[in-house]
Amino acid sequence: MTLGPARVGLLAGLLASAVALPSVRNGFVQDDAWVVQNRHILMSPPSAAALLREPFWPRSFGGSLWRPLVLASWALDYRVSSRPAWFHVVNVVWAGVAAGLLAALAVELAGVPVGLIAGLLFAVHPVHVEAASSIVGRAELMAAAGYAIALLCALRAERSRWALAGVVLGAALAIGSKEHAATLPVAVVLVLLWKARPWRAVVVPALAAAVPIALYFLLRGPIAAGALNSGGLAPGLEGLGMAQRAVAMAGVSLEWWRLLLFPLHLSADWSTAQVPVIPFVSSRLVLAATLWLAAGIAAWQLRGRLPALWLGLAWFLLTIAPVANVLVPTEVVLAERTLYLPSFGAMLAVACGLSLVRAPRVGRAATAAIVVLFGARAVARNQAWLDPAHAFAALQHDAPRSYRTLWLRGDAAFATGQPATGERLLEEATVAAPGIPGPVEDLAGHYAAAGLTSQAVAMLRHAMTLNETRTTPWLLIQDVEFAGRDTAEALRWARLADARFPADPRVVNQSLGTLLRSGRCEEAGSLLVAKAALFPPAGVAQAQVAIARCH
């Protein structure tokens, strides 16, 4: 049987789906609970336009990022079932589609032997588990699929005008799923020049890929609080300029090497407790520079025998750039899911290395052994994403000093009647990640539950300064003031919140509740009339009943 791009793609896709299949037992875990689970606009979108205008993260969490096609896919999932198993089934399908398309692309670029090895390694790589096993990871899978579609079509655009339409659609799928697809026009140029296409055949597909991406960034600003808003700043990057971030992330790149080549230790959190962020010359920087220099020299020396080696390295550097925190700082120093698309380039380079083995049987045996080991590690790693309890246990094992671990341990201590321990752990979490409002808000909630109103209010006011687009502290502070029996302050915060977030349904709903609890029935009625368009008819009717009872 002759293997070509389609058959290699099918084989890799089925293998990737098989490795991801155990995730159908998973529940809603970590970010899934905030972004997907019971999110009203996904369960009952008032209109397609409202869904397309919704930021990826709920506005209560800052309303950052814009990934409309991922949100649309979850809204379709809710039409079928609200059970997490269905969402994970769809993720398994996307994992297979993305791996299959990228494997086919590998064959187109490097030939069957190297492309087959790269496709199989990519299909089972353990670093992909976070993307495939968490529902929010679908953004990575859909973006990678669109990226591959656009490039496969770009390779055929010289022979078919319809292929240009495929480039546009692939680019739209990629950028509508995740922002790192902004690199796609450069990838089109890279791939077509690699195939020795004339410049005229390069420019047109690159421009076709750029059109939906340019449109995306034109529309993104008002929805995601800025065209380039990345959603926050990762702990360790505060106050660093571009040059300092470049130095710091060069040291962090050692973890990229280890995760891609020796993925034994995996973690759902890679904050500064696990990965040092050092913005000056250090031993990590020297070692990283040595590795990158050696890789570059090897690619140059072997350019005649293994031309795809430098292509793999170039792919990795290009696709890691949006999340490398150099050009644009992001809210994570490192996350395994962000290595999904870059790992394709790494596996292409590894496949080139394996193809150097002169004895064919030894080469096949080495490839098979790596595929089996990677696949077994990936299947075993899925257990960390089974449910919140397993995720918490894995986090404590993998990243015990992470701010996220301290945060969850602090909440758990409060829940088990250990307030002193809980307060200490949450304070440690805020020190470890001073720019993250979540632990601050949770500590405020625990203070409020203990009747410590002034401390709770102080914490919430501090949380407001950490993220000016996040609505959660503005909502919580109204309840805290009511609990402290300061109705005037609760009303003041309600009016301030409504003025600051006039188009946010949760803010308006909270303000309505505060007004009604304060006996301001007429003011509540006026607010509902002014903001009725923000709510579905059933919600308006429910609010009207509450206002009538108030009178």
158 lies in the same domain as 69: yes
Domain tally for the chain?
Answer: 3
Q: Single out the residue in 385, 420, 437 at which a domain terminates.
A: 385
468 within some domain: yes
What's the confidence (pLDDT) of residue 540? 75
333 lies in the same domain as 468: no
137 lies in the same domain as 230: yes
pTM: predicted TM-score of the whole model, two decimal places:
0.91
100-118 residue pLDDT tens: 999 999 999 999 999 999 9
373 within some domain: yes
191 lies in the same domain as 335: yes
Compute, in degrees rounded to 10, the torsion defined by CA atoms 229, 235, 239, 243.
Answer: -80
198 lies in the same domain as 278: yes
347 lies in the same domain as 479: no
What amino acid occupies position 518? Answer: S
pLDDT beneath 50, residues of the chain:
none
Structure-token pair, residue 441: 């808000």
What's the confidence (pLDDT) of residue 456? 92
305-349 residue pLDDT tens: 888 899 999 999 999 999 999 988 888 899 999 999 999 999 999
Q: Whose CA is closest to 240, among 440, 429, 435, 436?
A: 435
321 lies in the same domain as 213: yes
CA-CA distance, 545 to 549, in Å (whole number)? 6
Q: Single out the residue in 385, 411, 428 at which a domain terminates.
A: 385
533 within some domain: yes
392 within some domain: no
309 lies in the same domain as 438: no
521 within some domain: yes
Q: Single out the residue in 338, 353, 385 at which a domain terminates.
A: 385
18 lies in the same domain as 121: yes
Burial of 239 (0-12, 13-18, 19+ CB in 10 A): exposed
535 within some domain: yes
CA-CA distance, 278 to 329, in Å (whole number)? 15
What's the confidence (pLDDT) of residue 1? 59
97 within some domain: yes
CA-CA distance, 406 to 33, in Å (whole number)? 19
193 lies in the same domain as 338: yes
121 lies in the same domain as 30: yes
Domain CATH number, residue 405: 1.25.40.10
What's the confidence (pLDDT) of residue 551? 67
Whole-number Cα distances in Å, 508 to 257, 498, 526, 543 = 48, 6, 12, 11
Q: Give residue 420's domain range.
A: 401-485
Q: Whose CA is closest to 25, among 376, 336, 379?
A: 379
362 lies in the same domain as 426: no
What's the confidence (pLDDT) of residue 238? 85
What amino acid occupies position 358? Answer: R
491 within some domain: no
